Structure 1
Amino acid sequence: MHDSFKLGFIGGGINSAVGDTHFIASQMDGRFKVVAGCFSRHADINLQTGQKWHISAERCYSDMGRFLEEEKDRLDAIVVLTPTPAHVEPVVAALELDYPVICEKALAASVADARRIAEAQREHQGFLAVTYNYTGYPMLRELRHWINQGRLGRLEQIHIEMPQEGFARRSRDGNPMVPQQWRLMDGHIPTISLDLGVHLHHIIAFLSGEKPIELIAVQSSRGRFRQVIDNTICIARYSNGLECGIWFSKAALGYRNGLKVRVFGERGSAEWRQITPENFFYYDDKGRQSIIDRTHVDVSISCLPRYNRFKAGHPAGFIEAFANLYWDIADAIATTQQNGARWSGYVYGVPHATEGLIMLQAMARSSHENKWVNVERPK
């Protein structure tokens, strides 16, 4: 196995929502080591982040261009953790310098920006992986294996939801809970779609392998920040007759993160909830109901040693799922370096990310025009 890949972060400082998660997850299994970064444009945040993570001050940069140039022969990959609207510049700059790039979802804030990144990747034949962490959960991977084995039969419906309460809930002092400022601005694709909707598009594709064809959506503002969309309900038709119901919200009181997916086939159905990630429920066409965990006698994926850092009955969680994805990304980087092959079945890049943005853009258009719309194929 390759020695630990040396990582540099762009963004992800101590004032970031995702920095600690990526820092811990990337290093959990020894596949990566974070050794440098341009964590923030603010020198004080940069240095404080480096101090917290025991990174020398000499390798904490407040200028992205200087960081990329000076670390060129010292790093194996760059992780981009800036807010989504600010992804294009660092991703393209890193690709132009031949860094492998790992980018936090969403890849970009618009389809046009995603296509600009795609062009840079094609021109430089670069490596780019986008992190969709939820499909790092072993039981979702097991569920996909069951679907691919035909245990559910031909898929007919997927119903998936991701309700959260952040834009509706009050803090302990009775005031609204105010998110980061960039989350309170919408572009052609609402920010909630970039934050939550990308995950639902990804999970449907991950489980089914099908492509969105047409959809109708209703988008609204139901929480305390009426200048932005915070609730989306969508019905989508996919290839091979698959029909999907999709709901994501930040105005659903009572849900910290209510991610749930239900998959219905001709022979059986299954349900997985992120709040109880160690299990999924399986129902067959004879009325039998089963709870499947990662050491059930019928599992083949979730029982693998890499997913059992500790024995069943001691739940693994969100950061462990993220670490599973980082393991796959390390494999993908190593494979690409050795023979140019692409990739792991768990690692997704620019084409998939662009398809998701096209679908989310179609939701916004459908809601605005109040009608069914076609989902374009990525160019």
Structure 2
Amino acid sequence: MSVMIQQNLAKPLRLGVIGGGVNSAVGYAHYVASQLDNKWQIVSGHFSRHPETNLKTAEAWHIPEFKQYPSWKDYVMSEMQGLDAIVVLTPTPQHAEIVSFLLENGIAVICEKALTASVEDSNKIKASLDKSAGFLAVTFNYSGYSMVRELKSRIVNGELGRVLQVQIEMQSDAFINKASKGKPQDWRLKDGPIPTILLDLAVHLHHLVHYVTAKTPIKVLAEFNNFSPYKNIVDDAHLWIEYSEGMRASYWVSKSAYGHKNGLRIRVYGENGSAEWFQEQPDQLMVANEASIVTLYNRGNALNQDKIVERFKPGHPTGFIEAFANLYSDIADNLARYKLNPSQFQFDENVFGWDHAHEGLNLLQTATRSNTEGCWCSLKS
């Protein structure tokens, strides 16, 4: 594939934003990622309840004719005719109301993970999605990394043989680092039907295991812990999961692990070999064969070059924003196809909607029940 992403839209799609003001990390990530390939143009938004933050965001994101609205609903009803989609970047517990409202008003939706905070709220979104036959994409950005896509291709091609087990982890010291400035956002210090750490981190692990193996979780055993000064919340969790076709997986997520900032790592073990990818070395994929001979692959010598998105020549590492931009490019292409034939539309392999997001929430809510009951729990269909 060419170093530059090919533009295949006649003009950029017009994107609105709810939440994600200039003072939030998630807003910055979505803003930059959506702009890299000229497939989206952010034209309006209701970024914050605070007028000053709204104005600062519009200025930072170069929205020339920005209009202030007292609420996100006022914004939507006033600006919806000039938009191709709206991205929802508010705290997770607010997603259900906003996403359902957008779908019921015929607006294509891009929603930051987690889709929502509970299975029950997810089902409410599904009712709105079915009623509207609308477009809903959920952003699980880590599968935008080129070498994660390489890993998926090698598994699909049978290089590792039947996948037996996956070990995956994502940990940080966010809740215990004494040198950090300020405390976590208030909404992240409250747990609902699914602990917030699972909505923050474990949804990514569920997504990546599904993405590379295409297996479905069947039952789960979980253990939750609190090791930080923030009491009455879960800040460390272990999940052991049985998947379809006998595959096993173990998850570890933590915000109380010194020495880590975002220790995302996935190891896949099959009958004929294994593979490992570590986000802090994003352009490397380690593959071991049946003789345990290890080979390191990168974007320059990957076997599946047609799956590699080259934003710059090998040797210059790709990163979080570029991976996110790959996803935004994919979503734009999917939305363009949806607009041509909504009744026959299906997402391609790199974009995910309600079904996938709901499966993850179902897994994590069942894990919460498992932790409470102290036993294996089967997922409800």
TM range, smaller chain: over 0.9
Question: In the alignment, residue 327 of structure 1 is paired with which amino acid?
Answer: S
Q: Does 1:316 align with 2:287?
A: no
* Aligned twin of 2:369: 365
Residue aligning to 1:208: 213
1:218–1:367 contact (8 Å) kept in structure 2: yes
2:378 corresponding residue in structure 1: 374
Counterpart code for 1:249: S
State the shift of 1:373 in Å: 0.7
Q: Deviations over 1:236-273 (max 9, x none)?
A: 10000100011000001000000000000111100000
Is the partner of 1:14 in helix, strand or coil? Answer: coil
- Do 2:85 and 2:108's aligned partners in 1 also have CA atoms closer than 8 Å? yes
Task: Report the alpha carbon displacement of residue 302 of structure 1 after superposing the two structures with TM.
Answer: 4.5
Contact map agreement 1:190 1:228 (CA 8 A) in 2: yes
Unaligned runs of 5+ in 2: 1-7
Tell me whether 1:38 sits opposite 2:42 in the alignment. Answer: no
The separation in 2 between residues aligned to 1:365 and 1:301, in whole angstroms, is 43
CA drift of 1:296 comes to 0.6
2:360 aligns to what? 356
Matching residue's letter, 1:132: F
Shift of 1:223: 1.3
Displacement of 1:57: 5.2
TM-score, length-scaled by structure 1 = 0.96
TM-score scaled by length of structure 2: 0.95
Give distance in 1, aligned partners of 2:299 and 2:229.
40
Selected match of 1:244 from 237, 243, 249: 249
- 1:344 aligned onto 2:348: yes
| Cα RMSD (Å) | 1.2
Change (3 A) 1:177 1:47: closer
Aligned residue pairs, count: 371
How high is the sequence identity, in percent, across the aligned residues? Answer: 44
Given residue 363 of structure 1, which amino acid in structure 2 is its aligned partner?
A
Deviations 1:337-357 (A, max 9, x none): 112321211111111111101
Does residue 116 of the first structure (1) align with residue 124 of the second (2)? yes
3-state SS of paired residue (1:18): helix
* Separation in 2, partners of 1:84, 1:257: 20
Question: Which has the larger displacement, 132-141 or 221-230?
Answer: 221-230
Q: 1:166 touches 1:177 (CA, 8 Å); kept in 2? A: no
Following superposition, the deviation at residue 15 of structure 1 comes to 2.4
Q: Residue type of the partner of 2:224?
A: Q
Look up the SS of the partner of 2:82 in the other structure: coil
Q: Is 2:171 the counterpart of 1:163?
A: yes
User: Aligned partner of 1:74: which letter?
Assistant: G
Q: 2:142 aligns with which of 114, 134, 140?
A: 134
Three-state SS of the structure 2 residue aligned to 1:73 is: helix
Give the partner amino acid of 2:142.
Answer: Y
Q: Distance in 2 between matches of 1:318 and 1:89?
A: 29
Q: Which moved more, 1:222-231 or 1:135-144?
A: 222-231
